[in-house]
Structure 1
Amino acid sequence: MTRTIRWGVLGCAGIAAKAVIPAIQSSRLGRVEAIASRDFGRAGEMAARFGITRAHGSYEALLADTQIDAIYNPLPNHLHVSMTIMALEHGKPVLCEKPIALNANELMRLAAAQKAASLPVAEAFMVRHHPQWKRARALVAEGRIGAARAIQTIFSYYLDDPQNVRNQASIGGGGLYDVGCYAINTARLLFGSEPLRAIALLERDPVFDTDRLTSGLMEFPEGRQLVFTCSTQLALTQAVTVTGTRGRLEIPIPFNPPADAPTRLVLDDGRDLAGGGREEIVIEPVDQYRAQADAFAEAILFGTPLETGLEDAVANMKVIDALFRSAASGHWEVP
């Protein structure tokens, strides 16, 4: 009989409460057994809410808990590397929220620690575990839209709360870190290659100093291109369009598809502008966070390769670094 992974959660982040803890609690191979917060009362409240056995009043106490097999790290971005390294030093694999680091140099320290510990570490790009992305990648690879040449992506929401970590520049807030990373990650997935150069236009909030509106252009091998816009102060919007030489593929809800309702992909062969060549592909409901939790548990239990391990994380982080450099220099930058 396959054992289950006993998870510990660092902090009481919104994404943990809204999506990840419920997903782990309903997963095949895991259960959240402990949660930690620097505010013990808050940890206790979260534990009671989700039926978690133990609450800790410090992150260190959770990491030292011998009854925990793996850690989920959704702390503010500036704590991702340090707390993940500390977890590895306690012998615990880590699923860490994106971005897993603030720059590639910082990430290399984590990669060295992971190599020394020889334990799984993954960046929590839950979208990679949703079948709509697996199907999209297959459709592109099969040539259903001809040669895929261009991707347009937008990902935005409106958030002006100064207390929210996404609006605090000193701890890694801003749109490129929070949602622009998805545009980069999924374009790398669909093209199956790494960008050769990148250029960005970035506008900062005058109070928060975070990037609230960022657009980027990336050139991939064979002249393929990604154009994306991300924002923390635009209306809620998500869309991905992949255009090829013989058609296009649309992903209407690419990053936060509902867990309890079907999603769809749209293929169009481009024969006209009225939808004459339109085909819808329906994907049955999937909780991508649950799929992510089980995939990480399988990596621990069976040695299954990680979808977004540190090698993939380094590649994505180098592109983010290049975009920030470009926004400052006004020139193309090489990841």
Structure 2
Amino acid sequence: MTPRRRPSWCCRATRAGTASARPVCRRRSGNPSPSTATSPITCTSASRWRSPRRRSGVSSACSRPRSGRAPAGARPSCSRTTGADVPLVASPVGWGVIGATSQVAQKAVLPAIVASPGARLVAVASESAEDGGSGCFGPLRAHRAYEAVLDDPEVEAVYVPLPNSLHREWVVRAAAAGKHVLCEKPLAPTAADGEAMASACERAGVALCEAYMTPFHPRAAALDTLVVSGRLGALRFARAAFTGVLDRRDDHRWRPEMGGGALLDVGIYCLAPLLAAAGRTPARVEASATLAKSGVDVSFAGWLDFGDGFTATIECSFDAPERQFLEIVGTEAAVVVDRAYTPGPADTTIALRWRDGRVEEIVAGGADPYREMLEHFQTVVRAAAAPRRSCAASITLLGVLERLRAAAGLAA
């Protein structure tokens, strides 16, 4: 069989490199492997979570969308856009969700799918009949078996918010079923897993994006522009912290075999803007970790030397008061961002402190970054648009996370 020709924006795995309030569905603990039964799902009320907000999503497409192109001359039926790079969507993308009981799915991504005129929620799968949220998010097909979502011909794209250790298996299976994939961050526990996932999607001719949503907020875009412009001068120091309390001990993030730990869960938020600011990976890293009884890192601290006088520190924790900040210091100015990683519509400002003592406030627009991320992915699917962040960038970040874990003495 002749392989499909890859478009010019295709990424290769070997390359270097808020919605209205809705009821949320309570997750029951248990084995994340699905059973084979299929049944209706009912919605319950509030969640008992108290943890760092899981806000994830830069996209990284790996290959040409397989289907869903509008015919020539077709008039789009959707009138909303999210920016100059997001054209009108001719027909809604049919969505499926496997692992629909995750907190980020219930509180952020599922509401974004329902709110987007370019999306149609078709099916969800969860590990128990009572979960998944069909009553919360309108009529849809609800299953216990993940395979049922992949077998659904009306599902064009799947969102995968499963535990990290299951990302590779279900992304590869989704690609084999011809589905485009939006995979929760981190893309995978290791760079090797990420490369395998990217290769599988490339071979299948489907798009793969990492659901790391922060860069889709206007404030993050303004920060990127500020750093790249050189207004800060030569970069000297940076500090990034994301801490909070995860008090549900039955959560998979407390289990090392499920790819748990503070660094894998929230480390991407701290590390991604540092790599973007430096424009390269660190030449040297050091790290230390505090372990829970289960063996996962409950707290993690890392130091990164990017060379040319630029060093950075990161702090991640499941067992500390909530803190989210990013500080980047140059020879001319320092930029400070509060609630840097889970911004919402009201988070619009950046503080710029100049070396002469002046403080400048930069005001950017507000938005729901999950919806912006989702609609960008739908454009990647429908129009073969280039993603804002490549798979290669996601895999490069995974490599740095592995180096930090090794420096702290954590098992691969």
Structures share fold, TM-score greater than 0.5: yes
CA deviations 1:248-297 (Å, max 9, x no partner) are 011111111123x242101110323xxxx111122222000000000100
Q: How far 1:172 sits from its partner (Å)?
A: 1.0
Which residue of structure 1 aligns with residue 196 of structure 2? 109
Which residue of structure 2 aligns with residue 35 of structure 1? 124
Q: How far 1:322 sits from its partner (Å)?
A: 0.4
Whether 1:62 aligns to 2:143 is no
Whether 1:98 aligns to 2:185 is yes
Over 3 Å counting, the alpha-carbon distance change for 1:160 and 1:208 in structure 2 is farther
Whether 1:122 aligns to 2:203 is no
Q: How far 1:109 sits from its partner (Å)?
A: 1.6
The answer on whether the counterparts of 1:28 and 1:294 sit within 8 Å (CA) in structure 2 is no
Which residue of structure 1 aligns with residue 97 of structure 2? 9
What percentage of residue pairs aligned between the two structures are identical?
31
Which residue of structure 2 aligns with residue 288 of structure 1? 369
Whether 1:305 aligns to 2:386 is yes
Q: Which moved more, 1:25-34 or 1:83-92?
A: 25-34
CA deviations 1:187-211 (Å, max 9, x no partner) are 1122222222221111101x22110
The answer on whether the counterparts of 1:24 and 1:31 sit within 8 Å (CA) in structure 2 is yes
Q: Distance in 2 between matches of 1:34 and 1:186?
A: 34
Q: How far 1:312 sits from its partner (Å)?
A: 1.3
Runs of 4+, deviation exceeding 4 Å: none
Name the SS for the 1:170 alignment partner: helix
Which residue of structure 1 aligns with residue 336 of structure 2? 250
Structure 1 or 2: more helix by fraction: 1
- Residue identity matched to 2:95: W
What's the Cα RMSD here?
1.4
Q: Distance in 1 between matches of 2:259 and 2:118?
A: 32
Which residue of structure 2 aligns with residue 325 of structure 1? 406
Give the TM-score normalised by the residue count of structure 2.
0.75
2:324 to 234, 238, 241: 238
- Residue identity matched to 2:122: E
Over 3 Å counting, the alpha-carbon distance change for 1:82 and 1:202 in structure 2 is same
Which residue of structure 1 aligns with residue 233 of structure 2? 146
- Residue identity matched to 1:313: S
Q: Distance in 1 between matches of 2:344 and 2:200?
A: 36
Which residue of structure 2 aligns with residue 225 of structure 1? 311
Q: Which moved more, 1:137-146 or 1:12-21?
A: 137-146
Name the SS for the 2:162 alignment partner: coil
Q: Give the unaligned 5+ runs of structure 2.
A: 1-75, 77-89
The answer on whether the counterparts of 1:160 and 1:167 sit within 8 Å (CA) in structure 2 is no
1:267 to 352, 355, 369: 352
Which residue of structure 2 aligns with residue 332 of structure 1? none
Aligned residues: 321
Q: Distance in 2 between matches of 1:223 and 1:268?
A: 20
- Residue identity matched to 1:101: A
The answer on whether the counterparts of 1:215 and 1:227 sit within 8 Å (CA) in structure 2 is yes
Q: How far 1:225 sits from its partner (Å)?
A: 1.8
Give the TM-score normalised by the residue count of structure 1.
0.92
Q: Give the unaligned 5+ runs of structure 1.
A: 330-335
